[in-house]
């Protein structure tokens, strides 16, 4: 197997970034205050154990930190020294071939998409696995994205294993068949192919993709402008989809890290989302099925992002805040790039976790939101009244999937141009999601005019619905006329019914 090392192509005034200049370091004897300071200096911290942080930096940054009195040790670069280590891993071209072959072998359940090219022109492959893969169905979308840090390749191999299991066992294993039939599964084995090919954490321009997403506290502009190209592709894909549950896979520790990673107070010891109990359950679902993780150095194998160490611009916070999608960050192995012979054991440790976590997308409350007049699916917002965090319908099918712990909830549905509806005391159990479909009634504008208030049988109603539809319709004979001479609500409802079903 040939493993090519690419150096970035530098254009015009771009800063030169050579991944081989980058140093992996340990910064020792740190207090929480030191960590805050290092984060504010923009030091790329990537894991903290008691008073030691792992961090990446260029040589002048190392000098600077040492001159400030920090005790920094440089870790010899094992990956690049030991080429045997990388030999058995899929090369980028082998990964591409395998994904294409899988799609060809399973055309009934697989679609392989290139969602855009990396800085150096490599495709970002995203495999969709579901029944009826060309039809928008009322199904939750789940996504797994791996190896946004190019030197953390375990998740890439596990993603390929997962794709293999989902496709090979479809139709024979009842559980796998149900997963593929009921969920729209998206798996991206390699988000940072350029970094992977140069065994670098960063993309080809030296950007850390997991520090490059919008951040509610420090970079709240939810657009792709000025972000790394790989991040732009993932954001644009996500804007066009409606995932409800996701995970992104890393190595360098053994833990499930749940939002928030970022907090308005850089000194905060913890940063909880409004869905804190749900995130703990989701994380425990994964960790408790992975024995080494559950019994490892983190309590029950899970930790809040900010409690561990703060990051800004992480992908999981962005998913939760802007997409309404529950995402966690899963660290699969303490050693970033273990010998390939460790992969079978790592797959055994994670197989059940990866499947069971995915099944969470079928829990909570789900349904389809439509326009009561036209029956068309709607772009609507779903609010659990007691939890300050909305989710949104997929406007293509109108379906929503609100993950919730068992309990009783009041749920509010709202959409531009429609009357807001609240359904009270919705009971959620621990099994399949409670089904709650809602037909939303268009708001009737206040200024309905009719041409002739004296003779209602000849009157014409002209009405512009707030949904944008213009309606011109003869008033029916039982129209109620308000004191102000305008058509009342009953007549408006009659007109709405008529246009949805003229025979009625
Ligand atoms: Zn990572």
Q: Examine the domain organization and report whether 124 and 48 are in the same domain.
A: no
- The per-residue pLDDT for range 105-115, each reduced to its tens digit, is 999 999 999 99
- In the structure, what pLDDT confidence band is assigned to residue 213 with cuts at 50, 70 and 90? very high
Q: What pLDDT does residue 451 have?
A: 47
Distance CA 239, CA 301 (A): 31
Same domain, 99 and 248: yes
Ligand 1 centre to CA of 218 (Å) is 20
Could you list the residue range(s) of the whole structural domain that residue 284 is in?
A: 85-362
Residue 255 domain-assigned (yes or no) = yes
What is the arithmetic mean of pLDDT over 491-501? 64
Q: Do residues 75 and 213 share a domain?
A: no
Considering the domain architecture, whether residues 354 and 277 belong to the same structural domain is answered as yes
Query: If you average pLDDT over residues 321-346, what whole number do you get?
Result: 95
- Reported as a single tens digit per residue, the pLDDT across 352-409 is 999 999 999 999 999 999 998 888 999 999 999 999 999 999 988 999 999 999 999 9
Query: Ligand 1 centre from 199 Cα, in Å?
Result: 13
| DSSP helix, strand, coil percent of the chain (3-state; round to 5) | 30, 25, 40
Distance 58 CA to ligand 1 centre (A): 18
pLDDT value at position 11? 44
Q: What is the mean pLDDT of residues 308-327?
A: 96
- Of the pLDDT bands very low, low, confident and very high (cuts 50, 70, 90), residue 6 is very low
Average pLDDT over residues 220-228: 97
Cα dihedral 191→193→194→199 (10° resolution) = 100
Q: Quote the ligand 1 centre to 146 CA distance (angstroms).
A: 9
CA-closest candidate to residue 143, choices 354, 366, 351, 302:
354
- Is 359 catalytic? The answer is no
**CATH number for the domain harbouring residue 28:** 3.30.70.250
* pLDDT tier, 17 (very low <50, low <70, confident <90, very high otherwise): confident
**Active-site choice (123, 327, 331, 491):** 331
Among residues 151, 345, 344, 149, the alpha carbon closest in space to that of 230 is found at 149
Residue 309 lies in a domain: yes
Flag whether 143 is in a domain: yes
Q: Give the model's confidence band at 100: pLDDT under 50 very low, under 70 low, under 90 confident, else very high.
A: very high
| Residue 159 half-sphere exposure toward CB, CA atoms < 13 A | 32
- 469 part of a folded domain: yes
Total structural domains within the chain: 4
Residue 308 CA to ligand 1 centre (angstroms): 14
Distances (CA, A) of 7 to 16, 29, 119, 233: 10, 35, 11, 22
Check residue 19 and give its pLDDT.
Answer: 79
Whose CA is closest to 162, among 361, 357, 336, 354?
354
For residue 317, tell me if it sits in a domain.
Answer: yes
Burial of 454 (0-12, 13-18, 19+ CB in 10 A): exposed
Give the residue among 336, 353, 338, 339 at the shortest CA–CA distance from 144. Answer: 353
The reply to whether 77 and 103 lie within a common domain is no
Enclosing H/E stretch for 279: helix 276-288
């Amino acid at each position: 197997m040939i493993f090519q090392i690419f150096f970035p192509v530098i254009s015009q005034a771009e800063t030169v970034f050579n991944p081989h200049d980058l140093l992996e370091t340990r910064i020792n004897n740190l207090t929480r205050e030191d960590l805050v300071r290092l984060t504010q200096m923009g030091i790329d911290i990537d894991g903290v154990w008691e008073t030691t942080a792992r961090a990446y930096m260029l040589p002048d940054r190392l000098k600077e930190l040492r001159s400030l009195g920090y005790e920094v040790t440089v870790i010899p670069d094992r990956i690049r020294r030991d080429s045997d280590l990388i030999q058995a891993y899929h090369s980028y071209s082998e990964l591409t071939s395998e994904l294409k072959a899988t799609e060809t072998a399973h055309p009934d359940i697989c679609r392989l998409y290139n969602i855009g090219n990396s800085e150096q022109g490599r495709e970002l492959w995203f495999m969709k696995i579901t029944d009826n893969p060309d039809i928008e169905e009322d199904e939750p979308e789940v996504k797994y994205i791996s190896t946004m840090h190019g030197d953390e390749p375990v998740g890439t191999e596990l993603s390929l294993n997962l794709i293999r299991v989902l496709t090979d066992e479809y139709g024979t294993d009842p559980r796998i068949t149900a997963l593929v039939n009921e969920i729209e599964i998206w798996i991206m084995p390699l988000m940072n192919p350029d970094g992977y090919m140069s065994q670098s954490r960063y993309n080809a321009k030296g950007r850390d993709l997991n520090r490059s997403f919008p951040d509610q506290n420090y970079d709240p502009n939810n657009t792709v402008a000025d972000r790394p190209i790989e991040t732009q592709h993932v954001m644009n894909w996500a804007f066009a989809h409606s995932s409800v549950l996701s995970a992104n896979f890393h190595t360098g520790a053994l833990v499930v890290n749940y939002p928030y990673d970022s907090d308005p107070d850089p000194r905060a010891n913890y940063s909880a989302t409004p869905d804190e109990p749900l995130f703990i359950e989701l994380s425990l679902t994964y960790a408790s099925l992975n024995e080494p993780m559950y019994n490892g150095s983190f309590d029950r194998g899970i930790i809040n992002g900010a409690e561990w160490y703060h990051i800004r611009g992480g992908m999981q916070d962005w998913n939760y805040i802007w997409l309404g999608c529950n995402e966690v960050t899963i660290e699969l192995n303490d050693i970033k790039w273990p010998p390939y012979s460790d992969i079978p054991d790592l797959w055994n440790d994670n197989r059940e976790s990866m499947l069971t976590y995915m099944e969470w997308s079928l829990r909570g409350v789900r349904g389809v939101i439509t326009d009561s007049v036209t029956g068309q699916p709607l772009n609507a917002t779903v609010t659990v009244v007691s939890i300050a965090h909305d989710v949104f319908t997929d406007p293509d099918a109108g379906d929503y999937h609100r993950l919730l712990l068992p309990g009783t909830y009041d749920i509010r549905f709202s959409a531009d141009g429609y009357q807001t509806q609240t359904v009270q005391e919705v009971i959620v159990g621990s099994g399949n999601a409670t089904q709650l479909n809602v037909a939303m009634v268009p708001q009737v504008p206040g200024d309905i005019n009719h041409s002739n208030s004296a003779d209602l049988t000849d009157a014409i109603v002209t009405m512009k619905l707030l949904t944008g539809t213009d309606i011109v319709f003869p008033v029916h004979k039982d129209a109620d006329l308000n004191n102000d001479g305008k058509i009342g609500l009953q007549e408006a409802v009659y007109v709405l019914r008529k246009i949805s079903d003229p025979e009625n």
